[in-house]
Structure 1
Amino acid sequence: MNRLFLPMGFVSLMLLVAACSQPVRQQEGSDYKLMTVERTDRTLTTSYTAVISGRQSVEIRPQVSGTITEICVSEGAKVIKGQTLFVIDQVPYLSALQTALANVKSAEAAVATARLTAESKEELFQEHVVSDFDRQTAQNSLLEAEATLAQAKAEEVNARNNLSYTVIKSPVNGVASMSSYRVGALVNSSITTPLLTVSDDEEIFVYFSMTEQQILSLVRQYGTMDKALAEMPEVELRLSDGLMYAHKGKIDAISGTTDTETGAITLRAVFPNPERMLRNGSTATIVFPYVKNGVFVIPQEATFEIQDRVYVYKVNGEGKAESAQVTVFPLNDGKEYIVERGLEQGETIVAEGAGLIQENTQVANSLQEKQ
């Protein structure tokens, strides 16, 4: 048998020509992930940096000058309203009270004498023994003595108050802070640093801020500011160690003004504090839930943006992609969007890679086939 031997280069060239002469088979658009949008309920959470404050945080300062002679509270201890915290040297204030009491007695004696004189002058005037001038002078002396008595009594009250101020008591129930003052320290009403701070922490106020746009969104959701405040969901608190606080709180106040520098609005949440775990001045994170019912939820991969506008690709009856603008809820979890406008129940969209698709791309053999 005769065999024909061809050079290897010639064989390769012939195979290449044959391959190029065969038509390329175009793959149908079946590699795109699609989804049919359905209404559902979704809760989103977002976090806000917060500052913790006691329900009442009172700075304890002296109202009189003097040397601290007693400290009657331990730092960090629980105190009750009316409990003695500090005692200031009482000796000069006791002396001032004794002087005031003596002045009152002297003034009372002067009033009694002036009254007798005035009554005597009145009788003598009626008998035409003394002139009207003498009678009027006696009455004026009585008025002057009475004024002096009133002044002496006022000084007595002031002396008693000053003496009482030497015993410094807690005006509220709470927990005492640390103090930098010790027995022997000289204090007065103008000291810069308070003796200590008493924080009423049965309930804790947690302050945080939202943007004006977020507040407006909540108002639109609920109808009015009052309804938004009344119907806001309970919030949670993430402590500085990253763990969640055991009790939920309720937002009970929204500031009536907007910070002109930051555009933020302050809110206040109230949390119970039965274990005394939360402390005045601490920091934490408010976890705020947004509850959305009957909404469309789509992956963020199903969207693309053009000039801050969000679009999706809807699939028409021929299986082709058609871009459509949608309005999404301002907050998201980084993975999904809540669509407020632009989609209808039962519509099919491209669920992934929307940013890589062009208009009228064939993404399905037909919409009916995919469904």
Structure 2
Amino acid sequence: MKNNRLNYIAALSVFLVIVSCGNSEQNQSAAAPPPASFPVTQIQQKTVTGYTDYPATIEGIVNSDVRAKTSGYIEKVYVDEGEKVRKGQMLFKLETQSLSQDAGAAQARINVAQVEVDKLIPLVEKNIISAVQLETAKANLAQAKANYSGVTANIGYATIKSPIDGYVGSINFREGALISPSDATPLTTVSEIDQVYAFFSFNEAQYINHLQNAEGKTKAERIKNSPDLSLILANGTEYSEKGRIQTSTGQINQNTGTIKIRAAFDNPNEILTNGNSGKIRFPIEYKDAIVVPQSATFEQQGNVMIFKLVEGNKVETSIIKIQGTVDNLYVVESGLDTNDKIVISGVGKLRNGTVIAPQDTTFEEAIKPITPLFRN
């Protein structure tokens, strides 16, 4: 009887262990969640255009400094700053009273020298005096006339006129100021702004990239084939006219490591003027490039990472090298090809080797910019 009882207890224990194990396996199966869903897309090539902004300064296509050719006090200023003037229009007038007195004295010396010549001519003809004396008198007369011409020229220089059609800049001297040809500061600057120059700079790498990407065998051909440029004005708006690169200095500035570029813009509405500032927006076309949305990437130890979908619906991290940025996209130089599928969002929730439930998304939908819910 006792053995039967022991056998019963042993059998019951085995049964309970088996039942317990079965329940444990069922509980574990019930606790394991299904793989989380993540959108994925097949990599494709696409031609996109990005833009890089460069600070620029604006100058009139012709900037002519107006300077005095003679010394004197300014008697009258005939124009105001910003005024449109014509070539030859009077801008300044210098006081000429002392010059007029000098001209009178010079004219008197001419008269004296002329009298001397007239007196000596008959004496030379009669061989009373040497011809050398007459030649000396004639030389004195010529010198007197030259002096007079110099004085009258200075009187003419006292009227200072515009050298070109254009707009008057800052007027640096006013009535009563004493000026001279040696002054470092011009009276004003007249700028022709029917067309303007925009000056900006490339660093060495940017300059080389531009020359390599532009079509043409020579530098002149590459410049001619450069893309149209946009100008962003100081108020943030885009200027209505497109510009073109005309030339570059051709030499790297050893102090700054940059090369100066000159672009030209038409200015039919005279919005731009000498001294304006802005930004040149330079387009860069990436032909048949691999692009990915920035939302599909994350940074780790200075590297840009992305999750590829591999066998068994697992994700695997991969380092990608970025060539450029276009809106919400990265242009990929290396690390991906068109055989790859990538996770396009939610990458912050993933770890290397995670199994996911992939949701196929079209490439165009994957790279579409996300519309913000709120705007400032």
Q: CA deviation at 1:311?
A: 4.8
* Residue 22 (structure 1) aligned with residue 27 (structure 2): yes
Aligned mate of 1:235, from 226, 229, 253? 229
Q: 2: CA distance between counterparts of 1:231 and 1:18?
A: 76
* Residue 209 (structure 1) aligned with residue 201 (structure 2): yes
Residues 290, 29 of structure 1: CA spacing in aligned structure 2 closer, same or farther, 3 A cutoff? farther
Which stretch shows the higher mean deviation, 332-341 or 289-298? 332-341
Aligned mate of 2:269, from 260, 264, 275? 275
Residues 300, 94 of structure 1: CA spacing in aligned structure 2 closer, same or farther, 3 A cutoff? same
Q: 2: CA distance between counterparts of 1:347 and 1:288?
A: 32
Code of the residue aligned with 2:187 in structure 1: it is: L
Code of the residue aligned with 1:352 in structure 2: it is: S
Q: CA deviation at 1:203?
A: 0.9
Q: 2: CA distance between counterparts of 1:271 and 1:296?
A: 34
Q: How do 1:257-336 and structure 2 match up within 5 A?
A: 257-304=251-298, 310-329=304-323, 331-333=324-326, 335-336=328-329
Residues 175, 341 of structure 1: CA spacing in aligned structure 2 closer, same or farther, 3 A cutoff? same
Q: 2: CA distance between counterparts of 1:292 and 1:199?
A: 39
Residues 254, 323 of structure 1: CA spacing in aligned structure 2 closer, same or farther, 3 A cutoff? farther
Question: Cα RMSD over matched residues?
Answer: 3.6
Contact 1:237 1:284 in 2 (8 A): yes
Contact 2:40 2:359 in 1 (8 A): no
Give the paired residue count. 338
Q: 1: CA distance between counterparts of 2:288 and 2:204?
A: 25
TM-score in terms of structure 2 length: 0.75
* Residue 349 (structure 1) aligned with residue 342 (structure 2): yes
Q: What's the counterpart of residue 46 of structure 1?
A: 52
Q: How do 1:177-188 and structure 2 match up within 5 A?
A: 177-179=169-171, 181-188=173-180
Q: CA deviation at 1:322?
A: 4.6
Q: CA deviation at 1:202?
A: 1.0
Q: CA deviation at 1:169?
A: 0.4
Identical columns (%): 31
Aligned mate of 2:156, from 152, 164, 172? 164
Q: What's the counterpart of residue 8 of structure 1?
A: none
Aligned mate of 1:68, from 47, 70, 74? 74
Q: CA deviation at 1:171?
A: 0.7
Q: Secondary structure at the match of 1:22?
A: helix
Q: 2: CA distance between counterparts of 1:29 and 1:217?
A: 46
Q: Secondary structure at the match of 1:64?
A: coil
* Residue 197 (structure 1) aligned with residue 189 (structure 2): yes
Q: CA deviation at 1:366?
A: 12
Residues 362, 46 of structure 1: CA spacing in aligned structure 2 closer, same or farther, 3 A cutoff? same
Give per-residue Cα distances to partners, 1:104-148, cap 9 Å, x unaligned: 555566667777777776xx9xxxxxxxxx9xxx56656655554
Q: What's the counterpart of residue 77 of structure 1?
A: 83
Which stretch shows the higher mean deviation, 176-185 or 164-173? 176-185
Contact 1:71 1:86 in 2 (8 A): yes
Q: CA deviation at 1:242?
A: 2.0
Structure 1 residue ranges without an equivalent (≥5): 1-14, 125-133
Residues 36, 140 of structure 1: CA spacing in aligned structure 2 closer, same or farther, 3 A cutoff? farther
Q: 1: CA distance between counterparts of 2:266 and 2:36?
A: 56
Q: CA deviation at 1:227?
A: 3.7
